[in-house]
């Protein structure tokens, strides 16, 4: 692991190539040329599907959005479980479940969702949880899997955020991926592609105790995701699970992600939400 002083120097550096090369060395030491990706079928808690679209193929069914109440969350999990079948069902940001139902405890909420069929919490935003370690521990004690750490908005101290992820892995263990780029892109002060890829590289150097650094295919686009793979990232989230069939077989989501990974010089491996290889 690099020191905090060195991390800040790298963040301030304009030499992205050198920073990226160092991150790529760590990435190759941990994962060699393997690059995993997951096709995700998202279901919004306020617009749950009655049936699945044709041509759907997913390694993860994910509930997104903020439930209005515990009853709404339970209804979403039940519907999600019924359509997901044997495919892993994930959902919710852990912070959104705290205080969801004022009449019950956080632990009770987590247990109820687990009993209804939720397998995994899909987001653990390090920048918005006051006590992330305690919240994660509660989720795991309730029987819910927590594998991925995330970020809601761009942090003013990006080095501290990466260190927080590293410290949580040291303290609790069990995290397979950290997605360091914010889920919410600020209109007032958006990040640049340069800042984003540098954050990916910095994260790989700081969090070398977490197996994978993840980028989102839909949120940040194929081009940034592909470049991020060359400077430390090794897992791609959010690949479309439905092929609209308008661009032909060679431009289908599965062929596009595989082609982009190979073009970057890596080996594409499709996985599911459990990080099990499925193709």
Structural domains for the chain:
4-270 (3.20.20.70)
What's the mean pLDDT in 246-269? 85
pLDDT at 186: 66
pLDDT at 101: 76
Q: What percent of the chain has pLDDT over 70?
A: 94
Give the dihedral of Cα atoms 31, 192, 121, 244; nearest 10 deg: -90
Question: How many Cβ atoms from other residues are within 10 Å of residue 139's Cβ?
Answer: 25
| Range with lowest mean pLDDT among 96-110, 167-181, 253-267 | 96-110
* Phi and psi angles of residue 127, each rounded to the nearest 5 degrees, phi first: -85, -10
pLDDT at 183: 87
Dist CA 94 CA 160 (whole Å): 20
pLDDT at 2: 78
Question: How many Cβ atoms from other residues are within 10 Å of residue 33's Cβ?
Answer: 13
- Quick one: which of 82, 80, 113 has its CA closest to 96? 113
What's the mean pLDDT in 236-247? 82
pLDDT at 154: 74
Dist CA 37 CA 273 (whole Å): 10
pLDDT at 124: 97
pLDDT at 279: 75
Mean pLDDT estimate for the chain: 91
pLDDT for 73 beyond 90: yes
114-164 residue pLDDT tens: 999 999 999 999 998 999 999 999 999 999 999 999 999 877 678 889 999
pLDDT at 17: 86
pLDDT at 106: 94
| Range with lowest mean pLDDT among 17-21, 183-187, 269-273 | 183-187
What's the mean pLDDT in 166-176? 97
Q: Coil, helix or strand for 129? A: coil
- Quick one: which of 246, 243, 266, 238 has its CA closest to 254? 243
pLDDT at 248: 54
Dist CA 88 CA 209 (whole Å): 25
pLDDT at 251: 67
pLDDT at 250: 57
Is the pLDDT higher at 15 or at 115? 115
Is the pLDDT higher at 111 or at 184? 111
Rg (Cα) of the chain, in Å, rounded?
18
pLDDT at 45: 96
pLDDT for 50 beyond 60: yes
Q: Which ranges in 37-186 belong to alpha helices (H)?
A: 70-84, 94-97, 106-116, 132-141, 158-172
Kindly provide the residue ranges of all beta strands, DSSP E only, lying in the chain, ordered along the sequence. Answer: 34-44, 60-64, 89-93, 120-123, 148-149, 177-178, 212-216, 235-240, 267-270
Cβ 82 vs Cβ 116: under 8 Å: no
pLDDT at 37: 98
């Amino acid at each position: 692991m690099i020191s905090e002083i060195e991390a800040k120097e790298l963040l301030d550096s304009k030499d992205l190539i050198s920073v990226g090369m160092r991150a790529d060395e760590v990435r190759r030491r941990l994962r060699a040329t393997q690059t995993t990706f997951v096709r995700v079928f998202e279901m919004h808690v306020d617009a749950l599907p009655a049936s699945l679209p044709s041509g759907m193929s997913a390694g993860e069914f994910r509930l997104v959005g903020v439930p209005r109440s515990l009853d709404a969350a339970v209804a979403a999990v039940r519907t999600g479980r019924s359509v997901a079948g044997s495919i892993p069902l994930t959902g919710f940001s852990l912070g959104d479940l705290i205080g969801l139902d004022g009449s019950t405890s956080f632990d009770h909420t987590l247990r109820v969702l687990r009993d209804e069929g939720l397998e995994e919490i899909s987001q653990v935003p390090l920048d918005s949880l006051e006590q992330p370690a305690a919240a994660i521990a509660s989720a795991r004690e309730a029987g819910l899997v927590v594998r991925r750490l995330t970020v809601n908005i761009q942090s003013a101290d990006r080095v501290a955020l990466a260190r927080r992820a590293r410290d949580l892995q040291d303290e609790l263990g069990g995290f397979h991926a950290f997605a360091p780029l914010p889920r919410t892109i600020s209109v007032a002060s958006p990040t640049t592609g340069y800042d984003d890829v540098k954050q990916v590289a910095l994260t790989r150097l700081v969090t070398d105790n977490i197996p994978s650094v993840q980028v989102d295919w839909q949120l940040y686009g194929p081009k940034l995701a592909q470049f991020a793979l060359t400077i430390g990232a090794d897992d791609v989230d959010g690949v479309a699970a439905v092929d609209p069939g308008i661009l032909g077989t060679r431009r289908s989501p599965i062929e596009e992600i595989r082609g982009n990974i190979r073009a970057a010089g890596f080996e594409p491996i499709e996985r599911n939400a459990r990080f099990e290889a499925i193709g």
